[in-house]
Amino acid sequence: MPTTRRQFLSLAGSITVIPIVTLRPLEATPAMLNTVIRNVVGEASIRTGKVKLDIPPLVENGNTVPMTVSVASPMTADDYVKSIHVFNEKNPQPNIGNFYLNPSSGRAQISTRIRLADTQKVVAIARLSDDSFWQVIADVVVTLAACTEEVN
């Protein structure tokens, strides 16, 4: 029996499909970046300098971006770098890594490879033994993004 227009409409009306799509924010916002930085730094002020961030300014593949952070520090028992924290602005999560050093590190320098989902700022913050914080900000242009592509 062919479905009449009336039957079709009553059927359509009874099945109310409300698409509930909870979307996670696809990228960290500058506000999220500030929050995570404040989680590490607390109320302390962050000065610019001392920290050097070596990262390519133009990245073709955001899936693996070499990065080196170094801090100008004598690395003695009285004056050393306690930790280095790296953040990003627009990945789904603002953290990249926390690296903990001590006077026996000898040199305050770490390297790793990171993912970048978009053209964005990368922030490196160093905590010195006197609990002062120093930062550097680098701009990176990414042509092929990481993280959010489909899995095949």
Residues interacting with another protein, by CB under 8 A? 63-65, 68, 88, 91-93, 95-102, 104-116, 146-152
Give the shortest CB-54-to-another protein separation in angstroms.
12
Min separation Cβ 98 and another protein, Å = 4
d(CA 103, CA 115): 29
Q: What is the DSSP letter of 130?
A: T
Q: Closer to another protein by CB, 109 or 135: give it.
A: 109
Token representation of residue 147: 């993280």
Shortest CB 75 distance to another protein, Å: 8
Min dist. Cβ of residue 23 to another protein (A): 12
Measure the CA angle with vertex 75, ends 69 and 81; round to 5°.
50
Identity of the amino acid at 135: Q
The residue (of 16 and 152) whose beta carbon lies closer to another protein is 152
Listing DSSP states for 63-100 in one string gives T-EEEEEEE-----SSS-EEEEEEEESSSSSSEEEEEE
